[in-house]
Amino acid sequence: MRDFAIELFDKWAALWSGDLALGQEILAPKLTLRYAQPGASVYDEIHDPQTFVEQIELFRSERPGLRYAAQGIPVVEIDSARSGLIARPYGARRPGPDGELNLSGTDILRFEEGEIVEVWSVSGGAQGRSFYPDAVGA
């Protein structure tokens, strides 16, 4: 079961990296999003997968080349119904005017019956820093 949660987080990172079709696979019909990043209040009013995927697509269009990857050691709590929590650091990398921009954050995904129902996300935003700079793939 722990492997399921880790795979779910990897799919979450792939969704943010541009595999938008994963939204229909991993997101529950009703979502609660809690983004603590500066300028992320747009996520407060999103509660469905389609709107969320559209927002991810817009976010990515403003940041060409953006890639996400899981980093660090995950903390997993899961039951036999594939419900629980996974908290894990992530890294984001994209080209910037002065070279590669590397950022880190932490996402906590709450999932029920294998689908993400709630997300808590914290990062430093564009002014953040990377704790695992070599872990985000090319």
State pLDDT tens for residues 32-46.
999 998 888 999 999
Which stretches in the chain have pLDDT values below 70?
125-138
CA distances from residue 129 to 25, 66, 102, 121, 137 in whole angstroms, order as listed: 31, 15, 7, 15, 17
pTM summary value = 0.90
Q: Are 16 and 33 in contact (CB under 8 A)?
A: no
Q: What is the pLDDT of residues 1-24, one digit of tens each?
A: 899 999 999 999 999 999 999 999
CATH 2.40.160.40 assigned to 2-127: no
